[in-house]
Amino acid sequence: MLAPGREKCHRLWRAAPTGRNLEGMSDAYVVGDPDGLSPLLAELRDAVARELHAQLALRAERLELADVPEAAYQVTLRIDELLSGLVSSRGRHSPA
């Protein structure tokens, strides 16, 4: 079970699937203009942008210095979800 603040943040992040615009966010960050980035780096950038957007929305668009460790932790969880999803999807498509 997530702490109350984390639950709200988790719902905000889950409500924004990849490729869709988050309210107040430019499509360039969600849809991705790779700017020469590899597909993996573009996905990582998008996951970080979505989580930072959720963290700022949770904190009235202001991230206090004391909140940085929690925000970094949440970003780390999103990256872990992204990388875990990539590993598991590759495992399903590997030749037998």
Q: Residue 31's Cα: distance from chain center in Å?
A: 13
How many beta carbons lie within 10 A of that of residue 13, not counting itself?
Answer: 22
Calculate the alpha carbon distances from 61 to 37, 52, 53, 57 in Å: 28, 10, 8, 5
Q: Report the candidate in 93, 16, 92 with the shortest Cα–Cα distance to residue 49.
A: 16
Residue 79 has pLDDT above 80, yes or no: yes
pLDDT of residue 28: 54
Residue 45 has pLDDT above 80, yes or no: yes
pLDDT band with cut points at 50, 70 and 90 for residue 36? confident
Q: pTM here? A: 0.55
Mean pLDDT across the stretch 13-22?
46
- The more confident residue out of 73 and 1 is 73
